[in-house]
Amino acid sequence: MAEAIQKKLQLELEKYQQMQKDVSKSMSARQKLEAQVTENNIVKEELDLLDTQNTVYKLIGPVLVKQDLEEAKATVAKRLEYINGEIQRYEMLLKDMEKKSEQHREVLSSLQQEYQRAQGRAVGKV
């Protein structure tokens, strides 16, 4: 009886740990995205400071490719939107993961209690 509970406990524990890893992965991804948002904001602002006389280049691999200022601005704006959307998505994901990990936690604690009770009973019997 106790062994069965122990096995269950182990399984749950592993699942919970997996969940935690996923959560932390999502969190770090989200943080990266936040960094990118800040960066792109700065780029946008600086592009606004320039005028059409300046040539804008984009680094694609080893090549600097000339770009139009307006085009560049548009591209940067689109990228910003995209990143924000990604951040939202990750946030939703994180929330769900949190809820799931909470449930797992509860299951774990109840299993633990059962296990302890079983242990106590076993000791009592002996």
Partner 1 sequence: MFRKCQCQLLDVDIWNVVPFTFSCFLFNSSSMRTCQTSRKLPCSDCVVKGCEDQIQHWKNVKGDYEVLEDRLKTLPDKVSYDIMVPFGPLAFMPGKLVHTNEITVLLGDNWFAKCSAKQAQMLVEHRKKHVQSALDDLHKTKKNFEARVGFTEDLEKLSDGKGGYVDIREELEGVVCKGKRRVSLKPHSKPKTEAIVKMEEEEEEEMLNAEGSKRGVLSEEELWARLDELEAQEQQEEELDRRFDSADTNGNDDTTSSSSEEEKDEEGDRPAERSKGGTTMPLNGSQVDRTALPPRDGGKEEQEDDEEDDGLPTIHFSHTVEPKKVRINTGKNTTLKFSEMKEQKQQAKRKKNNGTSNGHSHHGLHITSPTDIYRLFVDVKNGEPVPRKSILKSRSRENSVCSDTSESSAADFEERRTLGRSPSHDDNTYSDTGSAITEEDAPTGELPVPTSRFQAFSGTVVEKEPIPLSVPQLTIAPPALPTIPERKLEEVVPEAPQEAPQEAPKRVSKFKAARLQHKGP
Question: Which residues of this chain interact with partner 1, rule CB under 8 A?
Answer: 24, 27-28, 31-32, 34-36, 38-40, 42-43, 45-47, 49-50, 54-60, 64, 67, 72, 76, 79
Whose Cβ is closer to partner 1: residue 2's or residue 27's?
A: 27
- The DSSP letter of residue 51 is -
Q: Report, in Å, the least distance between residue 28 CB and partner 1.
A: 7
Q: How far apart are the first and last CA of the chain?
A: 14
Whose Cβ is closer to partner 1: residue 59's or residue 126's?
A: 59
Angle at 29 (CA atoms; ends 44, 89), nearest 5 degrees: 80
Whose Cβ is closer to partner 1: residue 4's or residue 42's?
A: 42
Torsion of CA 12, 16, 19, 23, to 10 degrees: 170
Q: Report, in Å, the least distance between residue 49 CB and partner 1.
A: 6
Instruction: Name residues whose C-beta falls within 8 Å of residue 47's C-beta, 6 or more positions apart in sequence.
Output: 56, 69, 72, 73, 76
Q: Report, in Å, the least distance between residue 7 CB and partner 1.
A: 28
